[in-house]
Amino acid sequence: LLSRHDLVRTPEKQRTLLFEKSQPSTLQPTQFSRHVKRGLAGCLALCPRTHDLSIEYVSGGDTDVTILFNSNTRCLKIHEKYLRPDTAHELAPCFAYTMSHADHENSGPFFCDHIVEELYEQTLEQVIDPPDPVLVRSLRLAARDSLQLMPRMTSVAL
């Protein structure tokens, strides 16, 4: 009765609400964060169901929620943890990153496509309704191929 009138919430609903209302990320852009943002935008463009989503990176409201899709606004909120290599690799670790980057902040550019693939997979799980495993698998494979072709560390000489 109390939850029906929104007087109390389950812990899960409370975490979701806190995440939904969390502030936009204030992290300064880095090569890593630009790679994640560009990569995810490219992956979302592969499918008619995801190409028009708006993406907002948020502080997360001190919750363990990492990604949340609002079907009414077609907005995908993503925790800013994914924009830093050290915190992104806490969520999706990889051996190459651990071995090659003891000093995360002062190291050179480092790109982990698996971070983008992880975000894309979580997005598909929330957006594709009803779930379609065949479609999700084909989109994940297409995303992996596209990410491998994405330019990195380019510069323009004038």
Measure the N-to-C terminal CA separation of the chain; round to a whole number of Å.
67
Q: What's the number of CA atoms in the CB half-sphere (13 Å) around residue 3?
A: 6
pTM of the model: 0.81
> Which neighbouring-strand residues pair with 55?
76
Among 29, 17, 133, which Cα is nearest to 83's?
29
Per-residue pLDDT of the chain (158 residues; tens, 9 = 90+): 566 666 777 878 888 888 889 999 999 999 889 999 999 999 999 999 999 999 999 998 788 899 999 999 999 999 999 999 888 888 787 777 766 665 545 555 567 889 999 999 999 999 998 889 999 999 999 999 999 888 776 666 77
Cα separation of 156 and 143, whole Å? 26
Where are the domains positioned within the chain? Answer: 11-149
How many other C-beta atoms are found inside a 10 Å radius of the C-beta of residue 14? 12
Question: For 74-105, b where at least 16 C-beta lie within 10 A, e where not — what string?
Answer: eebbbbbbbbbbeebbeebeeeebeeebeeee
